[in-house]
């Protein structure tokens, strides 16, 4: 196998993904508010959440400042410098999100200056030869909207599709690929089932409602965006988990897999099935499920967040999507690895499995590593480091990690040489 070259299809898109709230800095939305109210608590709770080695390696988790997104890595002002780096690393595509709360900080009033800002971001990508993938909602929302219930309010779908339609109309000359929603099921589970994220509910009925509201939001936005230009390509970013029974011979464990798989992977897609021009797949998790009791992973190789690294899972997921007969983009896949010891191997191994899927007829057309830069990892704050580029949050200096150079070789040649 050594020296063997795995060629990717012509025009394959190579890049990274980011999200406004995690990189831009200076946002004012429901999360900004929640961070202020919860930073002290999150710092206090860290010792109960993380293992001893994590606490020792990342003492910043005990500092409330870690949980305030603040100026993040100031990508709002430094996007050109960051895109220069991405271009130098051979990327020909980039996924980012528009911060809705900047565009519509008051209901129905749209800020032309902020729209202009995103036009410049898009042009900065275009002049560098990078295809933009624009996410319209990566979880944060204007305060006025969260105050009236956010995604639990059925009108969310109308507000969202109005904003989506405006963005498509104003920025459409620079964009072909629109990603309506990022990972609806992450919001449903973290905000409405486990109660970790704002508005911190643990209510199965709210969760069921949010499935419907978000599906409605995607479907309406799809319709509005296509109304502006039929050639726009519209999808939503779907986090998919590879799930297996803990005991392959246990009937009950298999039933548990079916149930988990339905809610995590299938239900949302079913609700929006005929409103997608492509599938946007995000892969992080492999779980072995038991009917009663805890799920269990072997955790042989893990990231700094102790998430298991299981590259084969992406292949299994991709194969399962063949039935939809749509182009597929892997719009996120990545790991927290502050020392950059595992990242290059992580990327290569996932790409080997993606390549195998392509050889077997799965129409994968792009790969976006999460993330370009270290950024604000939601309720965990800044300590998990996902970036190909290290962010120094004090000086805002960027430092390209060795794994970024390994990934660059693949992007530039459109092939992976096995070592």
Please say which residue, 93 or 239, places its beta carbon nearer to ligand IFM: 239
Please say which residue, 243 or 256, places its beta carbon nearer to ligand IFM: 243
From CA 40, how far away is CA 325, in angstroms rounded?
48
**Residue closest to ligand IFM when measured from CB atoms:** 19
Please say which residue, 246 or 338, places its beta carbon nearer to ligand IFM: 338
Q: What angle do CA 383, 387, 391 make, to 5 degrees?
A: 65
User: Among 133, 44, 102, 101, which Cα is nearest to 366's?
Assistant: 133
Please say which residue, 6 or 46, places its beta carbon nearer to ligand IFM: 46
Give me the least distance between CB of 6 and ligand IFM, in Å please.
26
From CA 274, how far away is CA 80, in angstroms rounded?
37
Please say which residue, 60 or 229, places its beta carbon nearer to ligand IFM: 60
Is the separation of the CB atoms in 286 and 308 below 8 Å?
A: yes
Q: What angle do CA 366, 367, 369 make, to 5 degrees?
A: 155
User: Among 397, 331, 387, 274, which Cα is nearest to 17's?
Assistant: 331
Give me the least distance between CB of 213 and ligand IFM, in Å please.
20
Give me the least distance between CB of 254 and ligand IFM, in Å please.
28
Give me the least distance between CB of 332 and ligand IFM, in Å please.
5
Give me the least distance between CB of 292 and ligand IFM, in Å please.
28
Give me the least distance between CB of 4 and ligand IFM, in Å please.
31
C-alpha separations of 215 from 126, 188, 332 in Å:
31, 12, 21
Give me the least distance between CB of 73 and ligand IFM, in Å please.
13
Give me the least distance between CB of 284 and ligand IFM, in Å please.
6
**Site residues, ligand IFM (CB under 6 A):** 19, 22, 183, 282, 332, 370, 377
Give me the least distance between CB of 370 and ligand IFM, in Å please.
5
Please say which residue, 137 or 370, places its beta carbon nearer to ligand IFM: 370
From CA 122, how far away is CA 387, in angstroms rounded?
21
Is the separation of the CB atoms in 15 and 347 below 8 Å?
A: no
Please say which residue, 138 or 256, places its beta carbon nearer to ligand IFM: 138
Please say which residue, 265 or 282, places its beta carbon nearer to ligand IFM: 282
Please say which residue, 131 or 377, places its beta carbon nearer to ligand IFM: 377
């Amino acid at each position: 196998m050594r020296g063997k070259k795995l060629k990717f299809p012509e025009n394959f898109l190579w890049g990274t993904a980011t999200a406004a709230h995690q990189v831009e800095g200076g946002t004012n939305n429901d999360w900004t508010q929640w961070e202020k109210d919860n930073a002290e608590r999150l710092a206090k709770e860290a010792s109960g959440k993380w293992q001893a080695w994590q606490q020792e390696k990342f003492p910043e988790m005990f500092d409330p400042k870690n949980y305030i997104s603040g100026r993040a890595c100031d990508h709002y002002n430094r996007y050109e410098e960051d895109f220069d780096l991405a271009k130098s690393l051979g990327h020909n595509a980039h996924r980012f999100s528009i911060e809705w709360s900047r565009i519509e900080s008051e209901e129905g009033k749209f800020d032309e200056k902020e729209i202009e800002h995103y036009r410049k971001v898009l042009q900065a990508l275009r002049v560098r030869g990078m295809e933009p993938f624009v996410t319209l909602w990566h979880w944060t929302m204007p305060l006025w909207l969260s105050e009236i219930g956010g995604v639990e309010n059925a009108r969310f779908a109308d507000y969202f599709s109005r904003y989506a339609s405006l963005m498509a109309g104003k920025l459409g000359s620079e964009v072909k690929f629109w990603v309506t929603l990022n990972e609806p099921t992450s919001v449903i589970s973290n905000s409405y089932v486990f109660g970790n994220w704002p508005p911190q509910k643990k209510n199965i009925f709210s969760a069921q409602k949010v499935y419907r509201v978000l599906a409605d939001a995607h479907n309406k936005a799809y319709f509005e965006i296509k109304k502006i230009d039929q050639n726009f390509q519209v999808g939503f970013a779907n986090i998919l988990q590879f799930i297996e029974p803990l005991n392959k011979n246990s009937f009950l464990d298999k039933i548990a897999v079916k149930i988990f798989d339905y809610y995590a992977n299938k239900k949302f897609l079913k609700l929006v099935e005929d409103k997608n021009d492509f599938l946007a797949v995000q892969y992080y998790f492999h779980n072995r499920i038991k009917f009663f009791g805890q799920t269990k992973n072997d955790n042989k190789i893990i990231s700094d967040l102790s998430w298991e690294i299981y590259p084969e899972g992406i292949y299994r997921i991709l194969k399962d999507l063949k039935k939809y007969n749509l182009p597929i983009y892997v719009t996120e896949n990545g790991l927290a690895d502050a020392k950059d010891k595992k990242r290059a191997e992580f990327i290569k191994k996932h790409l080997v499995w993606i390549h195998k899927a392509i050889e077997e007829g799965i129409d994968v057309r792009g790969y976006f590593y999460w993330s370009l830069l270290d950024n604000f990892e939601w309720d965990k704050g800044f300590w998990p480091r996902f970036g190909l580029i290290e962010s120094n949050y004090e000086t805002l200096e960027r430092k390209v990690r060795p794994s970024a150079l390994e990934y660059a070789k693949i992007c530039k040649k459109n092939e992976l040489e096995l070592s």
